[in-house]
Structure 1
Amino acid sequence: MSNNDSFIDEVSEEIRRDRLFSLLRRYGWIAGLVVVAIVGAATIVEIRSARAEERAQALGDSLFDVLETPDASVEEIASIEADERGRPITALVEAALALEADDPLAMRVALDSLAIDEDAPDIYRTLAELKNAMLAEPGEDRRAALTALAQPGQPFRLLAAEQLAYQDVTDGETEAAITGFGAILQDAEATQSLQSRARAMIVALGGNPEEFPGAGQ
């Protein structure tokens, strides 16, 4: 490379550097604002997360305080203040206490309130629907509700499918029940406990679990 070329390169580099410094002087405040915005947003997220954790801990303490008393009641749980994240938990605890106290009306009210709570996460609302269906009297309405909950993509589809198979047993549909339990055996997402129950029911109904290829062991 000639001295002229080297000199031109140096001059070009200086020009580029001057332009860069000029741009930084002119627009550098924008970058500063971006940094401040990012830091500020991260701080807000941390504060909100900390506050949410505090509320969750407070709710948990309140629930434990009530449940540790020998005469815990649904009314006491219902009186606990909870935000939209805590309400599904309190509703489920209310339903559990009502079931324990043999109060089907209070249990249904708690589950229904959760099932229609639009602010509650879908998984809690679906769980309430499943519990309602499980506790309903055997019949076409119960079967229709369980069938909807057993569709692919539903979070509790296998539990709903198990309940459908149990209803087949109640209805005297032995072959349908065996087929239902067999489908659970063959489902890759079925837990070991669920497969164990399905296998035991197939045997109890006079079927053979080995007739379902690919069933878990």
Structure 2
Amino acid sequence: MANQNDSFIDEVTEELRRDRLYGAMRRYGWIGILLIVVIVGGAAWREYSLARKRAAAEAWGDAILAAEAADDPAAILAVDPRGSTGRAALAGLLAAGEYAGSGDDAAAAETLRGVSDAAERAVLIDLAQLKLVMLNGSDMDPSERDAILTRLSRTGAPFELLALEQKAVALVDAGRSEDAVSLIRQIQQKDGLTEALRRRLSEMMIALGAEPEPADMADATN
């Protein structure tokens, strides 16, 4: 008899639990449904936004390639960046390269200065300024050239080694050949030198009448 009573009590207790659970679901279930809708909707919107961005980037890239194929720097600059300052800066860098390739260094320099003034990403500003020095360094104000290269050649900067190379070129232009050779030897001891940069440094050493290291001599003559 006791067992039957216990069993009956358990059943009643279980029924009460179910009633409470169903009641809670009826009362608060909409919250869970709303959360699911928000999560699914958010994921769908994110995918939609990414797809739009990809499409916009592809359309911009196709337009840039078409302008490059036409060998028209002005057409490159005219491509709508679709509100992206990064795309505008990249277009400016590409257009500057086209101007320089066609021999219009003045237009190339003006375009690079425009990129440097308008770009928001530091790496694009640095690249534009480095290209400006490489293109027009000997005609720049020496103090401006030195200020740019000092900033770009700081330890850990993205274009540190290339900026140091341009510093050596500036020293040569200033008639300070011994200082240039000393700087080149310091650059050659740094990590991360590409073969192309190592070769250029070796060739500069030879042009300055300095004796490069044997390995550098081999690189310069290959």
TM-score, length basis structure 2: 0.73
- Counterpart of 1:215 in structure 2 is none
Deviates more, 1:176-185 or 1:151-160: 176-185
Match of 1:114 in 2: 115
State the partner residue of 1:76.
Answer: 75
Q: Equivalents in 1 of 2:207, 2:20: separation in Å? A: 84
Matches within 5 A, 1:163-182: 163-182=166-185
Are residues 1:93 and 2:97 paired?
Answer: no
Q: Say which SS state the counterpart of residue 98 (structure 1) adopts.
A: helix
Q: Give the RMSD, CA atoms, in angstroms.
A: 3.3
Matched, 1:162 2:161: no
Shift of residue 204, structure 1, vs aligned partner: 4.4
Structure 1 counterpart SS, 2:118:
coil
What is the distance in 2 between the residues matched to 1:45 and 1:78?
A: 31
Matches within 5 A, 1:12-27: 26-27=27-28
Q: AA paired with 2:129?
A: E
**Equivalent residue in structure 2 for 1:148, among 148, 151, 169:** 151
Relative to structure 1, the CA distance from residue 26 to residue 117 in structure 2 (aligned partners, 3 Å threshold; closer, same or farther) is farther
Which structure 1 residue ranges, 5 or more long, are not aligned? 211-217
SS at match of 1:190: coil
Alignment identity in percent? 33
| Distance in structure 2 (CA, Å) of the matches to 1:62 and 1:104 | 24
Q: Distance in 1 between matches of 2:23 and 2:114?
A: 63
Which of 1 and 2 has greater Rg? 2
Question: What is the correspondence of 1:35-46 to structure 2 with a 5 Å cutoff?
Answer: 35-46=36-47
**Match in the other structure for 1:213:** none
Q: What whole-Å deviation, never above 9, does each CA across 1:61-86 have from its counterpart, x for those lacking one? A: 222223323xx322222222222142
Matched residue SS, 1:86 = helix
CA contact (8 A) 1:178 1:207 kept: no
Q: Report the CA distance between 1:201 and its aligned residue.
A: 3.0
Structure 1 residue matching 2:175: 3-state secondary structure: coil
Aligned amino acid, residue 213 of structure 2: P
Aligned counterparts of 1:34 and 1:209: Cα–Cα separation in 2? 69
* Kept after mapping to 2: 8 A contact 1:182/1:209: no
Aligned length: 203
Equivalent residues of 1:150, 1:156 under 8 A apart: yes
The whole-number CA distance in structure 2 between the counterparts of 1:15 and 1:184 is: 81
Q: What SS is found at the alignment partner of 2:157?
A: coil
Other-structure match for 1:214 = none
Seen in structure 2, the aligned counterparts of structure 1 residues 59 and 17 have a Cα distance that, compared at 3 Å, is same
Measured in 2, the distance between the counterparts of 1:174 and 1:18 equals: 93
2:201 paired with 1:198: yes
Task: Tell me which moved more, 17-26 or 74-83.
Answer: 17-26
| Gap change, CA 1:121 and 1:39, over 3 Å in 2 | farther
Q: Unaligned 5+ residue runs, structure 2?
A: 215-222
CA-CA distance at 1:175 after TM superposition: 3.0
Q: Tell me the TM-score normalised to structure 1 length.
A: 0.74
Report the structure, 1 or 2, having the larger helix content: 2
